Structures are given as structure tokens and as C-alpha cells.
Amino acid sequence: MEFATHGDLYTLWLLENAFQESAVCIYTAEIAMVLEFLHNAGIIFRDLKMENILLDHNGHIKLTDFGLSKWLQKNQRTSTICGTLQYMAPEILLEEDYTHAIDWWSLGVIMYTLLVGRYPIDGAKNHYTMQRKVLQHRYQPPEHVSKEAGEVLALLLKKNPKERLQALREFEKLPFYRDFPFEQLLKKNIAPKNFLRRKLPPTLARKYYDSSSAKRRRKLGQRAHEGLSEFTVREREQSIY
């Protein structure tokens, strides 16, 4: 894989804060296309998060870190409790068998975070606390989020996986993506970096440590990563792939 010049989506989010909806539309569409490809190939990713999404010189995504991925055909289920707590779907937190739908929930968490500039729920120390938070939380974005974007969020963050948005063809039917050039994006004829609020530096690494981004990193990053361990000790000992 070629060098990912612009680091990862998490770093970009720290710099950008809330993204413009046009940029969110592009990034969620690219991630959705990747998920569609993986799921059709019989792979469940299980750790979709901003830190695992690298960016090339034009801002296009590259999914990385397949350490928790697994071969899983559509309509099959698996049961390992794994992933990153803040992105875990309710069915994993409830220790239920689950399907590829968990990856689409994680996309919903990413979309919310990019739109709003913060995670929908603060981190937790273990998956039991996170379970309670997720089950009690109402995933409603602030008023500044458009009705069309809010509709996508509502469908991705359905707590019942059977009701959750989980196919690219379903994306294409929604008003938020009406007339969106998916084919042109797939061919990389659209540069996501052109839809960001600021012009990207040659690399994100240098900009990441300027005073403003470092301050935001301390304020948001630490809180966002509380409890983001991939397993509790008990789960590490008992989980079976």
C-alpha cells in the first residue's frame, strides 16, 4: 500500500472539528463503498473507527488494521466481543450473536462525530458501562444538522440491527445522497480534500502538533479515548473467534 500522506481521519477530525455536510457525504459514501466490498467478499471488519481510516494526498480513504476482521458470509453470525467500545453496536455490548450490521453502526458513530464535532456518547471504562450508556441514549443530532443528514444517522444508528441501514443501494435512495456521483467517487474523480473547511497541509503530522490542534486534542482526544480498549481482561480470556 502506498504512503498515506495525510495521516488518519481521527487526526483530520481534531483539526477540522465539525465537517461540512458535503465533506461528510463524501467520506460516509467512501466508507460505505468499502464496507459493501468487504461484506460481499465475506469479511466482517469489526473495528471501524476514525483511527483505522487513513487518507491519501487527495483525502481519499484507505481502510487499515484488519486485526479483528473475520471471514463471515452474509446471513451468518458470530459472537466474539471485540472492537472499540465507543464504536461498538448494541448487539455486541449485549453479548448477542451479530452480523455485518455492526460495521454499519460504527459508520453511524463516525458520521455523527464528523457532523457534530464530538462523539455521540463519552467513553466508558468497560463494555458493561458502555452497554448501559448506548441502550439509554437517544441518538438525536443537534438542530444545525440537516433533516437529510439526520435521516441517514437515524437509520445507521438503529439499535435493532434488522432495522439498520446496511447496504450501499439503500444509501443511494436517500435524499442526502440524491444525485450523488458514486461512480465518479469510486474512480477518484472527486477529491474529498476540496470539501474541507481548510486547505490541508502537505502532511497532517506537522499541523497536528500546532498549538490549536494540540489544545483540542487534549480537550477532546483524551475524553474520546477513555475506555477504548478493545477487550476487557475477562473478554480477552474468554473470547473465541
- For this structure, is 47 an active site residue? yes
Sign of the Cα pseudo-torsion (89, 221, 126, 38, in order): positive
Assess contact for 164 and 105: CB atoms under 8 A: yes
Q: Is residue 144 classed exposed, middle or buried when 0-12, 13-18 and 19+ CB atoms within 10 A define those classes?
A: exposed
Which string of DSSP letters, residue by residue, matches 96-146?
Answer: --B-THHHHHHHHHHHHHHHHSS-SS---SSHHHHHHHHHH------TTS-
Number of Cβ within a 10 Å radius of residue 197: 11
Rg of the chain, C-alpha, whole Å: 17
Stretch (H or E) spanning 207 = helix 204-208
Catalytic residue among 47, 56, 97, 210: 47
Identify the helix (H) or strand (E) that includes residue 208. Answer: helix 204-208
- Which residues are marked as active site? 47
